[in-house]
Structure 1
Amino acid sequence: MINQRGTSTIALVQQTSLPTLVQKELERMILAGDLPSGAKLNEAALAAMLGVSRGPVREAFRALEESGLVRQEKNCGVFVRQISVAEADEIYEVRAALDELVGRKLAASITPQQVKELRTLLDKMDKMVEKKNVDAYAALNLEFHDLLVRQTGNRKLLDTYRRLVNELNLFRRSALAQKGTLPVSTREHRAIFDKIAAGSVDAAGEIMRQHVIDSRDRMHRAHAAGAGANPA
Structure 2
Amino acid sequence: MLPPLAELGRLSLREQALAALRRAISSGSIQPGTRMVEADLSTQLGISRGTLREAMRQLQQDGLLEADARGRLSVRQIGHAEIVDIFLVRGALEALAVRTICGFGDREPALAAVRTALEGMSAPTQEQIAERIEADLDFHRTLVRASGNGTLLHQWTQLEGSIRMSIMFAGAERALRNMDVDRHREIVDAIEAGDGDEAARVLREHMHEAATTLIG
CA distance in 2, matches of 1:50, 1:126: 31
Choose from 135, 153, 157 the match for 1:162.
157
CA distance in 2, matches of 1:8, 1:163: 29
CA RMSD of aligned residues (A): 2.8
- Tell me how many residue pairs correspond in the alignment: 213
Counterparts in 2 of 1:196 and 1:86: CA distance versus 1, 3 Å: same
Q: Does 1:212 align with 2:207?
A: yes
Q: Aligned residues: percent identity?
A: 29
Q: Does 1:13 align with 2:8?
A: yes
**TM-score normalised per structure 1:** 0.78
CA distance in 1, matches of 2:7, 2:186: 44
Counterparts in 2 of 1:121 and 1:142: CA distance versus 1, 3 Å: same
The C-alpha deviation readout for 1:99-150, integer Å capped at 9, x for no partner, is 211111222236423323322333454576xx75572544422221121112
Is the Cα contact below 8 Å between 2:92 and 2:204 reproduced in 1?
yes
| Worse overlay, 17-26 or 46-55 | 17-26
Deviating above 4 A after TM superposition, structure 1's stretches of 4 or more consecutive aligned residues are 131-134
SS in 2 for 1:82: coil
Is the Cα contact below 8 Å between 1:65 and 1:71 reproduced in 2?
yes
Partner of 2:45: 50
Choose from 58, 75, 78 the match for 1:80.
75
| 1:153 aligned partner, one-letter code | G
**TM-score normalised per structure 2:** 0.83
Cα distance, 1:68 vs structure 2: 0.4
Choose from 95, 100, 123 the match for 1:105.
100
Counterparts in 2 of 1:122 and 1:16: CA distance versus 1, 3 Å: closer
Q: Does 1:186 align with 2:174?
A: no
Is the Cα contact below 8 Å between 1:104 and 1:201 reproduced in 2?
yes
Is the Cα contact below 8 Å between 1:31 and 1:166 reproduced in 2?
no
Partner of 1:224: none
Is the Cα contact below 8 Å between 1:172 and 1:215 reproduced in 2?
no
Is the Cα contact below 8 Å between 2:99 and 2:197 reproduced in 1?
yes
Counterparts in 2 of 1:16 and 1:121: CA distance versus 1, 3 Å: closer
Counterparts in 2 of 1:187 and 1:165: CA distance versus 1, 3 Å: same
Where does structure 1 lack aligned partners over 5 or more consecutive residues?
Answer: 222-232
CA distance in 1, matches of 2:174, 2:20: 28
Partner of 1:121: 117
